Amino acid sequence: MDDGGTTWSDIAGWYDELVERGSGPHETALATLLALVPPVEGRAVLDVGCGTGLATRALAAAGATVTGTDASPAMLDRARAHGATTPYVLDDARTLAAFGTATVDGVTCQLALMDIPDLDAALASIHRVLRPGGWFAFVIAHPCFLGPGAGPTTLADGRRAVAVPAYLDERFWRSANPQGVRRAGQHHRTLATYLNALVAAGFALEEVVEPRASALLAEQQPVYAEVSIVLAARVRRA
């Protein structure tokens, strides 16, 4: 969404350095994604919203013939700077115009689906590029715990929890934290919206994961030892 605020290209360098230093949320998300995808060795995989290429590189290391795509030129520059031979293509997830119909075995999207303004268009494009029977695996910021106004709190008995004051308010929002990843914004959608959109796009649900925090995430953000920071799923194209 172009509201004149911070963009992903604006923070690409900072974001890349954050992830490379060691980020509990990204470590947890990547491990969840890799556990969720089917065997990828020798398979053609498209990593949508690849950002700086963290998941793209991991999929390539697992043997996939993988291409990363993102709408941010600066993010792709950072991905290419990591030196891998993996191709990276500038494209809009809502169209995936650079990719042919029924050309890949699997699609991944790690921590980016909530950044795309038109969810239905993105899912339609992903469905189009998949071969019949192909799979789509994604990880998103958990919509039940990461949304407008949500934040850590402490219960009367001292336990950590997350206050969620506006879960049903679907809208674009930005974190007020000047050093937060989500200052670039994201589109908050309910869990029902995501599930219904997947069904409408022609996908069948196979598995859903709400992972426990990695040790690093629990250390960096202790509240996410109590609730899941991400939601992940794998679906299948008919």
Closest CA to 71 of 96, 36, 40, 102: 96
Which pLDDT value is given to residue 179? Answer: 85
Which pLDDT value is given to residue 176? Answer: 87
- Compute the mean pLDDT over every residue in the chain, rounded to the nearest whole number: 96
Q: Residues 34-52: what's their mean pLDDT?
A: 98
Residue 160 has pLDDT above 70, yes or no: yes
Token readout for 198 is 């997947």
Closest CA to 237 of 197, 202, 206, 192: 202
Residue 15 has pLDDT above 90, yes or no: yes
Are the beta carbons of 204 and 7 closer than 8 angstroms? no
Residue 152 has pLDDT above 90, yes or no: yes
Rounded Cα gap, residues 74 and 52, in angstroms: 9
Render pLDDT for 195-237 as a digit per residue (tens, 0 to 9): 999 999 999 999 999 999 999 999 999 999 999 999 999 999 9
Which pLDDT value is given to residue 84? Answer: 74
